[in-house]
Each structure stands twice: as C-alpha cells, then as structure tokens.
Structure 1
Amino acid sequence: MRRFADLYDALDATTSTNAKVEAMVRYFREAPPQDAAWALYFLTGRRLKRLLTAKVLVPWTQELTGIPDWLFAEVYASVGDLAEVIALLLDQYERPARPEEMPLSWWLEERLLPLKDLDVAEQREQVLSWWKVLPRRELFLLNKMLTGELRVGVSDTLVVRAIAQVAELPPATISHRLMGTWAPSRAFFEQLLSPEVSDSDVSRPYPFYLASPLEQPVETLGAPKDWLIEWKWDGIRGQLIRRQGNVYLWSRGEELITERFPEISEAAEALPDGTVLDGEVLAYENGRPLPFSRLQRRIGRQKLTAKVLAEAPASFIAYDLLEERGEDLRHLPLRERRWRLEALLRDKPRFTVSPAVETDSWGALAELRHESRERNVEGFMIKRLESTYQHGRKRGDWWKWKIDPFTVDAVLLYAQPGHGRRSSLYTDYTFAVWNGQELLPVAKAYSGLTDQEIAQLDRWIRDHTREKFGPVRSVAPEQVFELHFEGIAASPRHKSGIALRFPRIARWRLDKKPQDADSLANLKELLHAQH
C-alpha cells in the first residue's frame, strides 16, 4: 500500500507526461506482479464497486474524532471529498507505531473485498481498526477504494507507454492485451509482459483507432482522390467480433453491449468465423439514421420490450474490417480493407458499409457539410486511403471534420469541487437559462477553462457563495458562460424538460451581464427545429 501511495503522489504532483511514465515504470519494475496487476487496474480507470456508503462512514468518523455534525458538514463543504475529509480528520490523532507493510493485493483481496459479506457491526470493527493505524496517505487511498471513487490522474496512453517500456514490447501489443474484460491477477500481469503469449480470450477487441479534429483548412490535405470520405455517424462506436461460434459487441468504452442489441448479434451469426468489424451502432430505419435520442431510449432501459425495439430499430454501419477468417488485417492499407469489407457484407441484413461520399473538390464537400444535421450525422470522416489501422489518436491519416456545435449563453448557479489534483478547487459547474424571471438549470459542465481561469473562478465562487449544500455551493447569479453542445433532446427527468448532449464551456463571457443569457424558450425552439 505504501508503494502504491508513493506512485499516486508522484502522478498527482506533476503534469509532465514523461515524469508520469517514469514513475509508473519504476513502480511496475519494483512491485510484486499481484500488486502491479491491481495498480494497473486502477490506473486504467477501472474501479471497485462501492463497498461502504457515507451513511456509515460519516458516523464512524465522528465516533473516533468526536466531531459534531455541524463541524463535519463545514469541513466537508470546504474540502469537498469524503475520503480526504476522513483522512484529514483522523490524521489529527496520534498513531501507534507504523504497522507492518502489507501488499496492496493483500489489502484488496484479504481485507476490502470480503467486507461485502460481513454485517454492519463486523464492517465497523474492521474499518475502525484500519483507520486507527494507517498513515494519512494510505488511509486516503483506502477510503477511496471503500467508496468506489479511486481515480488516478493518468491517461491510458501513458499507462501503455510505461508497461511497454517494462516489457520491452511495442505499445500496440500492450494496448491490445489490455482491451476487453480482465481480472487483476499475477497470471494476467505476467502474461501482459510476456514476449510470447497465446491469447486465449476470443472476445478481446482490438484497440480503437481514433481520428483527430480537423483544425486546419481542409484544402491542406491535398487531393480529395487520396482520401476516403464518409459521413460521421452519430451512434455508438463499436467492434463486432465473430470468433469460435460466438458474437461479441464492444463499445469504444470497452463495455460489452451484445445483449443490448439482440438483432445485431443474431445477424452477426451469418458472418464467417474470425471476423472483426469496426463501425457504428445506429438507430436506423428505411435506409437512414434516426436521431441519437432514439438510440438512447434503448440504452437506458433495463428490459428491451417489443415496443422499445420497434421504436429504435438498430443496425451496424461498418467502416472497417480488422480481422477476416482469423487474419489480422490492420497492417493492410485502408483501400484494401475497404474492398474486402464490401465483399464480405454484400447482401448481409442489418449490416451496411458506410458509403463513400464522392466529391471533386473540397469546396463542394464544404457545401454538403451544411446538410449534416438534417441527415442526423455530425459532419465528415476523412481517412487516407493508404493508411493502416493504428491504435489510439495518431495525427495525419484520420480526421474528423465535425459540424459547428450549438451554443447557448448561460449563468453559473452552482459549483462543486473536482477530483484528483483538483479536489480542492471548484471545477464542476451547473448552468441555467431564463424561464420568465427565474433561472432554471439546464446543463452541467467541467471542461473548457484554463488552469488560470479555474483558479480565478474558484476565488470568485468562495467570495460569492450564497448557500452550501454539502460540497455544493450556490453562488450569486452574475457570471455568464458560453456553452457548446452537440444536441438537444426532450427529457422528463429534468425540471427544464430538456437535456443537452456533451455540454462544455467554450468561454467565460466577462463582457455579458446575467440578463443577456439565453432563455429556455430559445432552447425549446431549437429542440422543435431539430425534430
């Protein structure tokens, strides 16, 4: 646990990517394989299910510290993170001699995970015994694990780089081995580092190749004939795998969604064994995509009734062939992969090859791009015909030329602390628009501001707080922000009746007053115009 706490601190203390990689390389070279597997589990964004709730952790903390309710609430409102609050409060009390150092895997497998099988009294006895002896850093991490909220500020790309250095293997190999579902174990970690390994997991997808945003003039790409141009579909990016008689559908977020789309899974049984398609799951009807909001109706349902399936019929739009009859095709140029894909899916129901958009000039393509929203797409994908299928976001060969986002000017109403190194700053914001004389919340956003702007806004929030609700602060409705978002949908779950898709902060409008913000009526007009 101490070694993992050192790694966590090292990653949290720097913004240098090289320093982060160096810290992880040191850790993975020194840690026992079982510990390294668990560290990798957390570093790649995986989390334990919550073992204990605030409902029991707060009274236990008060029992040890004697702190009254009102003071605990004040400390929590100031710090904003329950695990950190508990660690800070308990750190004020004298500790016995440092306990024997136990491996991270021992803490997880022998102590934390078995908690779920104990009654509350037994859980209390165990947790309080740990709190009384662990130093603050380990205690903080332990609390994060207990609450299922442990996040580490490092990207998957850097984790892959570190493991690749330790294993002396190509990053692409490591990235592939980390895809899909895996359990943190000594055997898994040793297999991950092995120079020669037989991968027995037939469900494992390939790492996704991600396009970069096109920020330069499209004409700088050269002749259109050298590129495959497709519509950018507004669905769920996924890989469809047919291996050893089974079908697996993975989302880009590495979630297995096979059971959510039974009609696609059934149709995939007609594909040859050893097939892997890269493409998009869409709500699709009469030869054209339906709005993403239709697909969301299926995603949020626990039970897929006949009515739900009829409202959002799904299809798989394929735009790449990664494996054919068990052969990895990623090293082939897109031109050839595309030719093989068209031959494979000819006359296959529920499957459509993403059509190429033919154009003689970039100017003509720019004109066609204006039709994106009425086609329920997000713009264009532009892929070099000679490109291989890489992993991660490699600039140069794949570009996404998206339509301009929707915009709204909204007023900041609430703020709460962020996570990780930003847990002491107010970085998560709730924004509102006018509904008559009332400001009504319509969106939450936490990205788009510079570090300097975050620090400036944090000071303003603390000076202009009206009320506190736990970690959330209500602020004076004075600051206006321009938000960008990708879509809008009706939502009975929200008081405003609408939900914005992918809202983010575009800029802080210091030039505008609160009365200049947009109205709910404006957003509802936009909603009706879309439908």
Structure 2
Amino acid sequence: MNRFAELLDRLIFTPSRNAKVQLLKDYFADVPDPERGWAVAAITRDLEVKTLKPAAIKALVTSRVDPVLYDLSRDYTGDSAETAALIWPQKRGANYVPSLSEVIEELNETTKAEAPQLLERWLDALDPSGRWALIKLISGGLRIGVASRLVKVALAEYGGVEPQEIEELWHGLTTPYEELFAWLEGRAEKPVNAMRAPFRPVMLSHPVEELDKPKIDLSRMRKEWKWDGIRVQLVRDGDEARLYSRTGDDISGAFPDVIEGFPVDAAIDGELLIYDPLTTDRFKVRPFNDLQQRLNRKTVSAKMLKTHPAFVRAYDLLWAEGEDLRERTLDERRVRLEELLSEGRGRVDVSERIEASGWEELERMRSDPPIAAIEGVMLKLNDAPYLPGRPKGYWWKWKKEPYLVDAVLMYAQRGSGKRSSFYSDYTFGCWREGELIPVGKAYHGYTDQELKKIDKFVRDNTIDRFGPVRSVTANKEKGLVLEVAFEGLQRSPRHKSGVAMRFPRINRLRWDKPPAEADQLQVLENMLDAQGAAP
C-alpha cells in the first residue's frame, strides 16, 4: 500500500506529462501482479470496491481525536482525507502494512459493519501518505489529475504497442489486468477476443482562431452544425451492442432506447441528443439540460425513457459489417454511412451537410443558428482519414461566442489537491431588487497569479465562515466583480435565481468595476428568453 501511495504522491506533484508516463512505466516494471493491475484500476477509476461514506470515516477519526480539533484542521487543510491522514494518532505495535491487493480483497469480503474496524487497523499501520491514499480509495474520492488515457499510453509504451491497441481491448479486460500484462511482457498472445463491440479512440478537432482561417481551404471542407450534446460511439457486433462516451466509458445502461433500436453491425461516431416527444418531428432537439437528466445513471426509469427520448445524430462511420473504414477518406465513409442509414435504423439519423460560400456567410450561420441546441459549426477535410487524437488541420470547430455576465463574488471555498491551501472555488451573484442572488459557481478560467490575488481578497474580506466556505464582503460599495463566461443557460427551479449556467468560468477579474455596476438577474432572464429556453 505504501508503494501505491508513493506512486500517487509523485504523480500529483509531477507536472510533466512525459514524466508521469515514466513514473507509471517504472511502477509496472517494479511491482508484481496483481498489485500493479489493481493500481491501474484505481487510477483509471475502473475499480469496483466497497466504500465507506465520509461520515463513517469522520466518526472513526473523531473517536481517536477531539472533534473540534478535527473540524478546525479540516477547515485549514480543505480536504477530509488529508486531515484524517495527518491527524490520526497511531497505536504502538501496529506494524503490518497491508498491500493494495489485500486492502481491495478484504474490503470486498467484509460486511458494512466490519469495515470501520478494518480501516482502523490499516490506518494504525500506515504512514501519513499511505493513510491518505487508503482513505481516498475507500471513500471513492481518488482523483489525482491523471487521465485514463495517460495510463493507457504508459501501458502501451511499457509493452511497445500502440495506445490504440490498448484502447480497443480495454472494455473486454477484467481487473487486475493480468492477461494484459502477460501480453505486454511477451508471456502470452494478445487477448484479441477480449471483447466484441469495442470502443475505438476518437478523432478530435481544433478550435478555429483568426490566425487559422487563411490556412483553412473551405472549398475542401465538409461543413456541419456542431450540436450541443455529448460525443458518443454507438457500436453493434452481432448480439453485442454498446454506447460509449468520448472517453470510452460504457454508458449503455442509461440509454437502452438507443441501443435496442440499432440493428446493424457498425461503429458510428455521433452526438447523443434528446428529442421532443410532443412533436411530430421526433428528432427535434431539446436543450442540453434535458440530456443532462439522463447522464450519470446506471439505469433509467420507464417514465424518463418516455419524457426524455434519446437518439444519435451520426456524422461518421468507423467500422461496418466486419470492415475497418478509418483509413478511408471522410467522403467515402459518409457515403457508406448514408447508405447504411438510408432506410432508417432506429434512434439514429445523419448529421446534415450545410453550405456556406465563405467565412462571412459561415460567421452568420455560426452566430445565429436555426435552433438553440446548435453551438456552432464543424469543418472537416473531405479526404481526411479517421485518426485518433487531435491531428492538426483535419477537423475544426467554430463555436458561438460564450455568453458573458458581470457578477459579484459572494462565497469562496478551498480547492483540493494542489489548491487545497487556496480559496479557488467561487460562488457569484447578480442583483435583483438590491439583493445579490447566487447564479453560479466556477473554479477555473483564471491564472495562478490571479488565483493568489483572489485568495488574498477572500482572506482580507471574510465576514463569516461556514466550515470550509467563507462569505466575503459583497455589497454595492465593496466587493470583487467577476466577468463570467458560460456556454448556455437553462431554467432551474432548484436554484433561487431560477437559472443554471452551463460550463461557467472566470473570464477576467474586474477590479476596476464597482459591485453596484454588476449585472442584474434580469440580464440572464433576457438571455433565456432570447435563446428560447424551455421552462
């Protein structure tokens, strides 16, 4: 367990991507099965292990230390696992350090009532770094800033294979990946039959900047709408069908209506959307908020299937009836796609091609699309193959300009990980009848230097504390105005403001602007009316 904790600690404090990959490769080489496989599963969040709720962990810690001291320490560190790891008083004589494998196996075999006793024994044996890793693992909060893709790259380099090979096998492998390591080390054949209907690494686009326009030949580009849904891959291979997110997560369970209605052997790249069930046009797209109601669910109710029906708007074909099409040109793939879907194939339709003579016409279309569920335009080179990653010059996205609003900072909370000592998560509000009403939260968009300045403002202007959250001075005479950028709005009865922002971020700090001149809530309500958001 201590070796795993050391790996996590070094990954967190290593900024270089290549250095992180080397750390992982060294770990794979030095640590035997099944320990290294369980570490991979934990980092990629593919580990299924019984967890303890934070309240149970806190109760265990405060049985050893004063609860007030714990609360004060938690407020200072900003992280429950770090607090528990540092404050835990060890018992003398506890010297057997468990391995990661033992922790996982014993957790999965124990009862809920016995789990706290196990955790107590392990905390006594581990050092602070090991305790932190254990608590993060056992609470389901292990987030160390290492993407699943990076782990797969490290595995590929370790075995001298292409990352794409790892990606296409991944969902057919079982933890702790002993068959994968056997292949990578030349001790066994490639597990080629690990899975039918595999995920195939996606091709990504680059945003269009002004400097890019002279380099883009619009006459050679297929132009399409950029839909405001989520990127998916719909795959059927015989009696096996799956729906994947862009990162390769299997989300089939939440969208059985899409899976069951797709009868052909193919792998389709497209956008997952929700259509309006009350219109004759079954593919009239609803706002992103409707799709959000169905995301992050393992199963979906019959009512939700009826009120929020899903479909895939297809724009590429990667594989069909046993043939890999990714090396063919986009034009060739699109002909096959349209042929495949010509008679209708359940909950799938084809993304339409749009025409524009030049950048000016394209700009008008981008800025004023026919419906709110369109967030811009896509440009794709007609003769481009389908390549994983983000190859330059093939695919471009030109999104609408973000919405902007001036809001006043109201509350701040400490971040986690590297930001645990800074107030980096911000709640901001707009004015309504002389009162600030919270309208959103953001925790990115600013530079490290700006973070330090905001943190100092929070500390110098705190007027109240609520655990790790600080309330700051925010009135018409004094406060910090934030220019907030966001991608869209939805009505939300769950929020006091009645609105919810999509992807809010701090665009810039308005030190020059008095809080009284920040925007009224009516500005956001007008935006809602303008974009035709559904209540």
Shorter-chain TM-score above 0.5:
yes
Shift of 1:48: 5.4
Aligned-partner residue type, residue 521 of structure 1: Q
Q: Is the 8 A contact 2:372 2:531 kept in 1?
A: no
Shift of 1:325: 0.8
Task: State the partner residue of 1:501.
Answer: 502
Q: Is the 8 A contact 1:96 1:133 kept in 2?
A: no
Q: Write the deviation string for residues 449-485 of structure 1: whole angstroms up to 9, x where unpaired.
A: 1112112222322232222222222222211111111
Task: State the partner residue of 2:159.
Answer: 167
Shift of 1:393: 2.9
Q: Is the 8 A contact 2:90 2:125 kept in 1?
A: no
Could you tell me which of 142, 156, 162 is aligned with 1:150? 142
Does residue 1:441 correspond to 2:438, yes or no?
Answer: yes
Q: Secondary structure at the match of 1:207?
A: coil
Task: State the partner residue of 1:38.
Answer: 38
Q: Which sits farther off after the overlay, 359-368 or 510-519?
A: 359-368
Does residue 1:279 correspond to 2:274, yes or no?
Answer: no
TM superposition score normalised by structure 1: 0.91
Task: State the partner residue of 2:71.
Answer: 73
Does residue 1:88 correspond to 2:95, yes or no?
Answer: no
Q: Is the 8 A contact 1:323 1:329 kept in 2?
A: yes
**Kindly, what percent of the aligned residue pairs are identical?**
39
Does residue 1:378 correspond to 2:375, yes or no?
Answer: yes
Shift of 1:283: 2.3
1 CA distance for matches of 2:202 and 2:333? 15
Pairing 1:243-322 to 2, within 5 Å after superposition: 243-269=237-263, 271=264, 273=265, 275-284=266-275, 286=281, 288-299=284-295, 303-305=300-302, 308-309=304-305, 311-322=307-318
Task: State the partner residue of 2:209.
Answer: 215
Could you tell me which of 126, 133, 136 is aligned with 2:128? 136
Q: Which sits farther off after the overlay, 283-292 or 205-214?
A: 283-292
Shift of 1:218: 5.2
TM superposition score normalised by structure 2: 0.90
Query: Any unmatched runs of 5+ in structure 1?
Result: none
Q: Write the deviation string for residues 56-80 of structure 1: whole angstroms up to 9, x where unpaired.
A: 3223222223x2x332221111111
2 CA distance for matches of 1:190 and 1:471? 47
Q: Which sits farther off after the overlay, 276-285 or 216-225?
A: 216-225
Task: State the partner residue of 1:127.
Answer: 119
Shift of 1:200: 2.6
Q: Is the 8 A contact 2:312 2:348 kept in 1?
A: yes
Shift of 1:192: 6.2
Task: State the partner residue of 2:5.
Answer: 5
Task: State the partner residue of 1:60.
Answer: 60
Are residues 481 and 79 of structure 1, via their aligned partners in 2, closer, same or farther at CA, if it must alter by over 3 Å? same
Task: State the partner residue of 1:515.
Answer: 516
2 CA distance for matches of 1:517 and 1:189? 57
Q: Is the 8 A contact 2:160 2:184 kept in 1?
A: no
Q: Secondary structure at the match of 1:337?
A: helix
Task: State the partner residue of 1:105.
Answer: 101
Q: Is the 8 A contact 1:179 1:207 kept in 2?
A: no
Q: Is the 8 A contact 2:171 2:195 kept in 1?
A: no
Aligned-partner residue type, residue 529 of structure 2: H
2 CA distance for matches of 1:418 and 1:318? 39
Could you tell me which of 236, 260, 267 is aligned with 2:230? 236
Q: Secondary structure at the match of 1:372?
A: coil
Aligned-partner residue type, residue 220 of structure 2: D
Are residues 43 and 128 of structure 1, via their aligned partners in 2, closer, same or farther at CA, if it must alter by over 3 Å? closer
Q: Write the deviation string for residues 94-133 of structure 1: whole angstroms up to 9, x where unpaired.
A: 66468345432222222x3334x241xx333322222222
Aligned-partner residue type, residue 424 of structure 1: S
Does residue 1:482 correspond to 2:483, yes or no?
Answer: yes
2 CA distance for matches of 1:387 and 1:289? 29
Q: Is the 8 A contact 2:97 2:126 kept in 1?
A: no
Q: Secondary structure at the match of 1:196?
A: coil
Are residues 288 and 160 of structure 1, via their aligned partners in 2, closer, same or farther at CA, if it must alter by over 3 Å? same
Query: Any unmatched runs of 5+ in structure 2?
Result: none
2 CA distance for matches of 1:381 and 1:410? 32
Q: Write the deviation string for residues 220-244 of structure 1: whole angstroms up to 9, x where unpaired.
A: 2332121111110111221111112
Shift of 1:303: 4.9
Are residues 345 and 221 of structure 1, via their aligned partners in 2, closer, same or farther at CA, if it must alter by over 3 Å? farther
Aligned-partner residue type, residue 403 of structure 1: K
Q: Secondary structure at the match of 1:32?
A: coil
Q: Secondary structure at the match of 1:209?
A: coil
Q: Secondary structure at the match of 1:409?
A: strand
Q: Secondary structure at the match of 1:462?
A: helix
2 CA distance for matches of 1:218 and 1:229? 16
Task: State the partner residue of 2:25.
Answer: 25
Aligned-partner residue type, residue 68 of structure 2: W
Shift of 1:216: 3.4
Q: Write the deviation string for residues 366-424 of structure 1: whole angstroms up to 9, x where unpaired.
A: 22222226352011111112222222333321111101011111111122222222222
2 CA distance for matches of 1:145 and 1:165? 26
1 CA distance for matches of 2:464 and 2:185? 52
1 CA distance for matches of 2:387 and 2:456? 44
Q: Is the 8 A contact 1:177 1:192 kept in 2?
A: no
Q: Is the 8 A contact 1:47 1:150 kept in 2?
A: no
2 CA distance for matches of 1:131 and 1:357? 61
Shift of 1:177: 2.8
Aligned-partner residue type, residue 402 of structure 2: P
Q: Secondary structure at the match of 1:132?
A: helix
2 CA distance for matches of 1:94 and 1:253? 41
